[in-house]
Amino acid sequence: MKGYRQGDVFLKKIEAIPKEATKKPNTILARGEATGHVHEVIGDAELYERDGTLYLRVRSSVELRHQEHGTIALSRGAYEVGIQREYTPKGWNRVVD
């Protein structure tokens, strides 16, 4: 399985987006609470959500951009979005920035 990473945002290629996923109005994968910076997909792509998990459909080549991190080119296909996590004795938490 292959994937990409931009800061605390990860993407992995998947076969298909779950049918029950609903379309989001933008293509922002994550937003920093402290900085307001965003991980945003620019180009012909759609973002979906199901049970708190984001899925990205890229229709042609697009770019994943961020104010501080380097741009990542993404090819056509379906992706699942994941966020870096951090250990606590009570379990794993998503990294919040």
Q: Which of residues 8-67 bind another protein (CB under 8 A)?
A: 8, 10, 12, 32-35
By CB under 8 A, is residue 68 in contact with another protein?
yes
- How many angstroms separate the Cα of 27 from the Cα of each of 48, 62, 75, 93, 96? 9, 11, 15, 23, 19
Cα–Cα distance for residue pair 30/97, rounded to 1 Å: 10
Size of interface with another protein, in residues (CB under 8 A): 30
Q: Which is nearer to another protein, 35 or 61 (CB)?
A: 35
Least spacing, CB of residue 10 vs another protein, in Å: 5
Give the one residue of 4, 21, 40, 49 binding another protein; rule: CB under 8 A.
4
Longest dimension (CA), the chain: 42
Compute the CA torsion angle 5, 94, 21, 79 (nearest 10 deg): 10
* Chain residues that interact with another protein, rule: CB under 8 A: 1-8, 10, 12, 32-35, 68-72, 82-89, 95-97
